[in-house]
Amino acid sequence: MKDVVKIGIIICDRYRNCAGGKCFRSLRKKEGAFSIYGDKEIEVVGYTTCGGCPGGNIEYAPEEMKKNGVEVIHFATGLVVGYPPCPYIDYFKKYIEEKFGIKVVIGTHPVPQKYYTMHEKLGTWKDRGWEERLKYVICDEKIRKEYD
């Protein structure tokens, strides 16, 4: 029997109507940030938005997810590819890890190529800290194009 990791996904509220297609495809294929689980099975036990700027749902959603057995919370890739990327992402990560003792991973699905290209033009991800934030989702160009 494989180990099962219970995860929660928090998406940016501007994408609140997103059905999660890219996140769930990458979860199934173990691409992007879900590649970190290797042979383990992944069970989604929570899926919600941040609640809108400045992230009011961040105060409450992790506690509910924890009641459902969540071990890791993933911030959806939309929080880093949006225009602009979430300005609160580092604070949210630290807050959840400190208050609830839940590991937070930045990213779900690979960055789509169209977002990669535009953020490269804008220089968005040149600033300090972006390499670490994007490490699981930047992927190679072939995979990025599959997520356009």
1-25 residue pLDDT tens: 568 999 999 999 999 999 999 999 9
| pTM for this predicted structure | 0.96
Kindly list the structural domains of the chain, giving each domain's residue range(s) and its CATH number in brackets, ordered by start.
Answer: 4-146 (3.40.50)
Which helix (H) or strand (E) segment is 115 a member of?
helix 113-122
What type of residue sits at position 114?
K
Average pLDDT, the chain: 96
pLDDT in tens, 56-105: 999 999 999 999 999 999 999 999 999 999 999 999 999 999 999 999 99
Tell me which residue has tokens 């789509």: 112
Looking at the chain, how many residues does it have? Answer: 148
Q: Which is nearest to 20 in space by CA: 52, 48, 56? A: 48
Region 32-43: mean pLDDT is: 96
Q: Which is nearest to 67 in space by CA: 42, 46, 95? A: 46
In sequence order, the 6+-apart residues with CB closer than 8 A to the CB of 133 are: 80, 89, 90, 106, 107
pLDDT at res. 62: 98
pLDDT at res. 145: 98
CA distance 148 to 144: 7
Question: Given a cut of 80, is residue 28 above it in pLDDT?
Answer: yes
